């Protein structure tokens, strides 16, 4: 192995890890927000991302809408869908002390969406071909994917927007307050259903952004969402549950772990190593690796 | 090979024997022949199931348009009705189950009494690339081949086969890696292959993973002369998702419309006209129905035991997969095919046919 190793190769492994990890990160940010107020792991997040990818695919094939331009349609649509989903599916369950009901609803929603996608678009993998599909460019001798680079930009921009929203707006501060202590927030007059609905809406909008990134970069099928959600969950744990910036960094860290372990050990071990790190972090630093570096957004 | 078995297993159960047994000749006189087909129509295997159902429905349509199948007890031809079912209960109820696309090494040890199978063996499929390489001009033969096999029982099984034949044919894999299912990021595999100057690649993985890999190979600038895939490169979606980037990629298959057998070309054209993509599987399913229908006609009854006896040890000539000779255990062997994608068409080049396609070495991405 060492005879083929070079600085350029290590840099390429690093870059690819960061680019791919950003995808996990943006999904984890959505999970983080919903967990913050609802106190559930929204396991359907990955499937919502896949659904958004199918909408992008449909807009592209039906109206010829460029996948990146479709963000202006998909993100607001996902936002509205998130709020509606909360209103009709989770509102009653959210008021219950037992969070298992909400979790079960999320599981049911995941399978429902999977099967609806499979019925509407068939279970065959889909992908979008544009002029920038599978195109790479060179930076100091390292090949970098165009679409994955744009995905990184989307992830950073989406996370920054969420952080700004949470820190700079009154509604965002209410969401943060509810995330810190729902009882205290309610005593201050914050409507728990409103903040839950906003968290869901933003979580779905982030799924919309991730869906655009997914659709432009990878082929997708109805069943990919679950494994994606599991990876986002690892990213969330690495970054610190409830920590928005940490979730993005957790995703990038997971991407790096997978990338380096795939190269230096074996691709077959990458998942095992990722889950082992997940457990180790939960065992020894359950608040996440970035808890002290970043205040809760 | 569990996944392959589950994914590809296709068969037709002859149910009519039960109906006749229960309801007697009156049922046969104005009845129909009911064929059950366990097909995956939902879930991750539904893509395979859809091709199976299409081929079976076409076979039933064709036989019914020809008047049906002559049944002696009924004294006339009876129409066939297909019931797409979801369970395999043939052995329990002693119903004859005509099968294809199941590896014999999984089927044979079961010692099924009520089924017959035609398909190729896993080792024969794993040997195909090495036979192809041996027939290439010396300059085109791989020097540094690599193997990426899905990290599943299927992948491990095929991987063992590829390794064994590589050794037998004098090749050494420069990179031999398990391939993480659904991982989406194969940059580490690709960088490793680049670093090892890999010039040929054998892959065994799902359609989605195969598409992702080829895309990322292009993004990261890994060009090989020969890329041969199993399981994931034969679907129409592969070429659809990659466009011209799928050109030169080689896929496995169970059948080809380029076969010189009666009805092969028409069957392929019929499928392509409806779905706007080629198929390298439907012929196996169609032939499955052909064998079953001919067996019923041969014995003139829908009695499961009689139909089974007509298939086991029997010879069925000129099906869309060619002549089928079943041995005493009910097994007939066919050959795995190799097809090269070219302008979204699957060009058969193995087994070779007269005037058929000649395999092309892949051009580097930058020269396409």
Instruction: Give the largest Cα separation in chain B, rounded.
Output: 73
Burial letters B235-265, b for 16+ CB under 10 A, else e? bbbbbbbbeebbbbbbbbbbbbbbbebebbe
Percentage of residues in chain B having pLDDT higher than 70:
88
pLDDT at A139 over 60: yes
Are B83 and B36 in contact, with CB atoms under 8 Å apart?
yes
Give the best residue of B151, B176, B184, B196 to mutate against chain A (max A CB count within 10 A). B184
> Which residues of chain A does B243 touch, with a Cβ-Cβ cutoff of 8 Å?
129
Q: Which of A103-112, A172-181, B175-184 has the highest mean pLDDT?
A: A103-112
Beta carbons within 10 angstroms of residue A199's beta carbon = 25
Looking at residue B69, its pLDDT comes to 92
Residues B356, B349: Cα–Cα separation, whole Å: 6
**Any bridge partners for residue A183, and if so which?**
none
A142 touches chain B (CB under 8 A): no
**Please, which pLDDT band fits residue B49 given cuts at 50, 70 and 90?**
confident
**SS3 per residue for chain A:** CHHHCCHHHHHHHHHHHHHHHHHHHHHHHHHHHHHHHHCCCCCCHHHHHHHHHHHHHHHHHHHCCCCCCCHHHHHHHHHHHHHHHHHHHHHHHHCCCCCHHHHHHHHHHHHHHHHHHHHHHCCCCECCCCCCCCCEEEECCEEEEHHHHHHHHHHHHHHHHHHHHHHHCHHHHHHHHHHHCHHHHHHCCCCHHHHHHHHHHHHHHHHHHHHHHHHHHCCECCCHHHHHHHHHHHHHHHHCCCCHHHHHHHHHHHHHHHHHHHHHCCHHHHHHHHHHHHHHHHHHCCCCCCCCCCCCC
B144 touches chain A (CB under 8 A): no
Stretch 204-233 of chain B: residues touching chain A, C-beta under 8 Å: 207-208, 211-212, 215-216, 218-221
B191 touches chain A (CB under 8 A): yes
B110 touches chain A (CB under 8 A): no
pLDDT at A146 over 80: yes
Q: What mean pLDDT do residues A116-128 have?
A: 89
Q: Compare CB distances from A267 to B43, B189, B207 and report the shortest one's residue.
A: B189
Q: Compare CB distances from B191 to A13, A118, A147 and report the shortest one's residue.
A: A13
A123: nearest Cα among B57, B340, B48, B276: B48
Q: What mean pLDDT do residues B316-320 have?
A: 96
Burial letters B292-319, b for 16+ CB under 10 A, else e? bbbbbbbbbbbbbebbbbbbbebebeeb
Q: What mean pLDDT do residues B34-51 have?
A: 75
Are A29 and A248 in contact, with CB atoms under 8 Å apart?
yes
Tell me the backbone φ, ψ of residue A132, rounded to 5 degrees.
-105, 5
Q: What mean pLDDT do residues B254-274 have?
A: 95
Residues A125, B148: Cα–Cα separation, whole Å: 20
Interface A:B, Cβ pairs < 8 A:
133
Burial letters A27-40, b for 16+ CB under 10 A, else e? bbbbbbbbbbbbeb
> Both tokens of residue A108?
């049911």
pTM of the model: 0.83
Asked if A268 lies within 8 A of B178 by C-beta distance, the reply is yes
**Any bridge partners for residue B14, and if so which?**
B35
Looking at residue B20, its pLDDT comes to 31
Looking at residue B83, its pLDDT comes to 81
> Which residues of chain A does B189 touch, with a Cβ-Cβ cutoff of 8 Å?
262, 267
> Which residues of chain B does A14 touch, with a Cβ-Cβ cutoff of 8 Å?
none
Q: Compare CB distances from A271 to B46, B180, B240 and report the shortest one's residue.
A: B180
Q: Compare CB distances from A125 to B178, B241, B245 and report the shortest one's residue.
A: B241
B151 touches chain A (CB under 8 A): yes
Residues B258, B353: Cα–Cα separation, whole Å: 8
Asked if B211 lies within 8 A of A118 by C-beta distance, the reply is no
Tens digit of pLDDT for each residue in B88-144?
566 777 888 898 988 888 888 888 888 899 999 988 999 999 999 999 999 999 999
Beta carbons within 10 angstroms of residue A209's beta carbon = 26
Give the best residue of A129, A214, A252, A262 to mutate against chain B (max B CB count within 10 A). A262
B186 touches chain A (CB under 8 A): yes
A61 touches chain B (CB under 8 A): no
> Which residues of chain B does A224 touch, with a Cβ-Cβ cutoff of 8 Å?
182, 184, 208
Looking at residue A109, its pLDDT comes to 96
For residue A194, give how far its alpha carbon lies from the nearest alpha carbon of chain B (Å): 36
Looking at residue A243, its pLDDT comes to 85
pLDDT at B204 over 60: yes
For residue B318, give how far its alpha carbon lies from the nearest alpha carbon of chain A (Å): 32
> Which residues of chain A does B191 touch, with a Cβ-Cβ cutoff of 8 Å?
9, 12-13, 16, 263
Chain A nearest-CA residue for B187? A16
Residues A85, B88: Cα–Cα separation, whole Å: 39
Tens digit of pLDDT for each residue in A199-252?
999 999 999 999 999 999 988 989 889 988 999 999 999 998 878 899 999 999
Tell me the backbone φ, ψ of residue B151, rounded to 5 degrees.
-80, 65
B195: nearest Cα among B220, B159, B161, B231: B220
For residue A20, give how far its alpha carbon lies from the nearest alpha carbon of chain B (Å): 7
Which residues, 6+ apart, have CB-to-CB distance to A111 below 8 Å? none
Give the best residue of A124, A259, A271 to mutate against chain B (max B CB count within 10 A). A124
> Which residues of chain B does A136 touch, with a Cβ-Cβ cutoff of 8 Å?
218-221
A255 touches chain B (CB under 8 A): yes
**Please, which pLDDT band fits residue A178 given cuts at 50, 70 and 90?**
confident
> Which residues of chain B does A125 touch, with a Cβ-Cβ cutoff of 8 Å?
207-208, 211, 235, 237, 241
């Amino acid at each position: 192995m060492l005879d083929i190793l070079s600085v350029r190769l290590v840099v390429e492994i690093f870059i690819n890890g960061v680019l791919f990890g950003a995808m996990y990160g943006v999904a984890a940010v959505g999970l983080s927000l919903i967990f913050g107020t609802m106190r559930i792991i929204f396991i359907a997040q990955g499937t919502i991302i896949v659904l958004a990818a199918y909408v992008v695919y449909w807009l592209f094939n039906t109206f010829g809408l460029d996948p990146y331009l479709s963000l202006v349609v998909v993100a607001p649509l996902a936002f509205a869908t998130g709020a509606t989903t909360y209103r009709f599916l989770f509102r009653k369950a959210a008021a219950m002390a037992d969070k298992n009901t909400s979790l079960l609803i999320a599981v049911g929603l995941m399978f429902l969406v999977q099967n609806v996608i499979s019925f509407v678009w068939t279970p065959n993998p889909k992908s979008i071909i544009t002029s920038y599909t599978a195109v790479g460019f060179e930076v100091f001798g390292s090949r970098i994917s165009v679409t994955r680079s744009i995905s990184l930009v989307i992830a950073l921009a989406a996370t920054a927007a969420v952080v700004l929203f949470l820190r700079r707006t009154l509604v965002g501060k209410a969401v943060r307050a509810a995330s810190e202590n729902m009882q205290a927030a309610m005593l201050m007059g914050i409507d728990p259903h409103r903040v839950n609905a906003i968290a869901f809406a933003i979580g779905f909008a982030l799924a919309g952004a991730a869906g655009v990134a997914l659709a432009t970069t990878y082929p997708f099928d109805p069943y990919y969402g679950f494994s994606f959600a599991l990876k986002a969950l690892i990213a969330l744990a690495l970054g610190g549950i409830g920590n928005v910036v940490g979730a993005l960094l957790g995703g990038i860290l997971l991407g790096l772990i997978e990338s380096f372990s795939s190269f230096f050990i074996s691709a077959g071990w990458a998942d095992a190593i990722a889950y082992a790190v997940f457990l180790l972090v939960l065992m020894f630093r359950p608040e996440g690796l970035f808890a002290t570096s970043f205040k809760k957004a | 090979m569990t996944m392959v078995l589950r994914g590809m297993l296709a068969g037709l159960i002859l149910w009519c024997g039960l109906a006749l047994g229960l309801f007697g000749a009156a049922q046969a006189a104005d009845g129909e022949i009911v064929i059950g087909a366990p097909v995956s129509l939902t879930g991750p295997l539904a893509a395979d199931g859809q091709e199976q159902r299409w081929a079976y429905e076409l076979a039933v349509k064709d036989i019914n348009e020809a008047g049906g199948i002559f049944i002696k007890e009924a004294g006339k031809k009876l129409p066939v009705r297909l019931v797409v079912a979801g369970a395999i209960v043939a052995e329990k109820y002693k119903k004859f189950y005509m099968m294809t696309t199941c590896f014999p090494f999984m089927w044979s040890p079961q010692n099924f009494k009520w089924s017959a199978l035609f398909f190729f063996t896993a080792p024969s499929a794993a040997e195909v690339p090495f036979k192809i390489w041996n027939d290439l001009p010396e300059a085109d033969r791989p020097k540094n081949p690599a193997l990426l096999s899905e990290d599943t029982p299927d992948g491990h099984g095929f991987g063992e086969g590829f390794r064994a034949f590589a050794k037998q044919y004098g090749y050494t894999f420069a990179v031999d890696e398990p391939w993480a299912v659904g991982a989406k990021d194969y940059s580490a595999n690709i960088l490793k292959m680049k670093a090892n100057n890999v010039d040929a690649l054998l892959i065994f993985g799902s359609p989605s993973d195969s598409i992702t890999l080829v895309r990322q190979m292009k993004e990261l600038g890994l060009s090989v002369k020969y890329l041969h895939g199993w399981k994931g490169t034969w679907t129409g979606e592969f070429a659809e998702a990659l466009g011209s980037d799928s050109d030169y990629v080689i896929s496995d298959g169970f059948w080809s419309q380029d076969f010189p057998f009666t009805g092969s070309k028409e069957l392929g054209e019929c499928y392509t006209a409806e779905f706007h993509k080629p198929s390298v599987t439907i012929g196996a399913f169609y032939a499955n129905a052909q064998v079953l229908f001919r067996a019923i006609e041969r014995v003139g009854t829908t009695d499961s035991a009689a139909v089974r006896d007509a298939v086991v040890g029997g010879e069925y000539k000129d099906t869309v997969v060619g002549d089928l000779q079943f041995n005493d255990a009910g097994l007939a062997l066919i050959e795995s095919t190799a097809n090269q994608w070219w302008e979204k068409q699957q060009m058969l080049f193995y087994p070779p046919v007269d005037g058929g396609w000649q395999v092309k070495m892949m051009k580097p991405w930058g020269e396409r």
